[in-house]
Copies of this chain bind each other. A is one copy, B any other.
Amino acid sequence: MTHVSVDEHAVRVAALLGPALEVGAERVPLLSALGRVLANDVLAPVDLPLFTNSQMDGYAVRSADVANAPVTLPIAGVIPAAAGEPPALAPGAAVRIMTGAPVPKGADAVIPIEDTTVDGGSVTITRARSAGEYVRERGSDVRSGALLVERGRMLSSRHLAALAAAGIGNVDVRQVLRVAVITTGSELVPPGEEALPGQVYDANAVALIAAVRMCGARVALSRRVVDDPAQLLAALDEAASAADLILTSGGISKGDFEVVRELLEPRGATVVHLAMQPGGPQATAVFEGVPVICFPGNPVSTQISFEVFVAPHLRRTAGLAPERRETRTLSSGVHSIAGRRQFLRGTLVGDAHVEVSSGPGSHLVAGLAASDALIVVPEDVTGLEPGDPVEVWHL
């Protein structure tokens, strides 16, 4: 086992994940596409508006006929919305028209109802209007064949509305990345059951499943295995056929019962000890063609390792914005171990400060829950004073 840097491991993970992140496309109904990433450019299949229509409730006229307003015109009829193709407007007449209804041939302006008075079968128009006023021309929003929504866009309500307006019922979106989560450890019991002496609750399954979902990927399979290579092998077999990427926790350190290491190291896994705290022991492997990223078993190590090495890739694949990272001013001093990149748990204070909110221990799972940031202390720094600038990752 060699000590390697966080950056070197990150590069290895990225290279391993690269092909798995090249997901294909699938066609889904419009509403299932919310929050998904558009796989191809969508060109407008029609003009929008579909036909020239009225912007107001009022009277469609020839603008030439009202140039000398006030003027009184006979009312030729009424055009509601959904009227079909209305008859052409005769010169010297007006037709009552509703918002969105098709403007008849011959008419080129709409007089809002406020500028009219009706007496029997005639309407008096009190104000002249030019050609085009209160008329929405066919194709004035977008022309048939023009780009409607571009590929790579994460689809929001406004994109779906435009696609719907153009009559599109299904769209091609990127498939959701399928992730398998395998937690290992003979000491683990699922939350909700009773832990016997020496047993602990499995926080890593819940943590990884939830974190994967927050990154816009799907958990295709989740297994909890004891420290038995045969059980782990069976779980990996299942996982490799169900998922594009496998995450494991535990069993990767230097102890006597390191099941992940024992099974995968002979199969070519790269097992490393990272210059990182928490999260020293880590590994990468390929199992039946599927990348396997192995995290240590301490729940804080697992969560921070996921955030450092995997989350940014999943978020990008799902079209999500990266988590916010910024420089802030430290409110309290900290000590750090030379030669390790430390990820301390912090609390954001106001807009510009951050304070350390929990100890550095990799078991402080409640401390992490109570924090809302990670504070990154570089390898060559052994201490920071109040007022020093630090890199902060929002959680």
Contact = CB atoms under 8 A, between A and B. Distances in A.
A214 interface: yes
Contact of A365 (B35, B78, B141, B254): B141
A366 B99 contact: no
Contacts of A23: none
A338 B395 CA distance: 44
A131 interface: no
Interface in A53-107: 53, 55, 57, 78, 80-86, 96, 98-102
B48 A366 contact: yes
A82 B395 contact: no
A369 B149 contact: yes
Interface in A156-214: 156-170, 185-188, 190-211, 213-214
Contacts of A191: 30, 163-169
Interface stretch (A9-17, A235-243, A295-303, A383-391): A295-303
A172 to B, nearest CB: 15
Contacts of A371: 158
A363 to B, nearest CB: 5
B254 A210 contact: no
A96 B255 CA distance: 10
Contacts of A209: 31
Nearest to A196: B84
Nearest to A371: B158
A256 interface: yes
Given A100-B297, A157-B207, A361 B34 contact: no
Contacts of A211: 157
A213 B366 contact: no
Interface in A352-387: 361-369, 371
A44 interface: yes
Best-buried of A80, A149, A158 by chain B (most CB within 10 Å) = A158
A98 B256 contact: yes
Contact of A192 (B170, B207, B368): B170
A287 interface: no
- 8 A-B pairs closest in CB distance: A169-B192, A82-B187, A162-B369, A161-B207, A157-B210, A165-B203, A81-B187, A142-B366
23 contacts: A30-B191, A55-B363, A57-B256, A80-B186, A80-B257, A82-B185, A84-B196, A85-B198, A98-B256, A99-B255, A99-B297, A101-B187, A113-B254, A136-B361, A157-B208, A161-B299, A161-B303, A162-B368, A164-B191, A164-B203, A165-B203, A166-B366, A167-B195
Interface of A: 30-31, 34-35, 44, 48-51, 53, 55, 57, 78, 80-86, 96, 98-102, 113, 136, 140-142, 148-149, 156-170, 185-188, 190-211, 213-214, 227, 253-257, 297-299, 303, 361-369, 371, 395
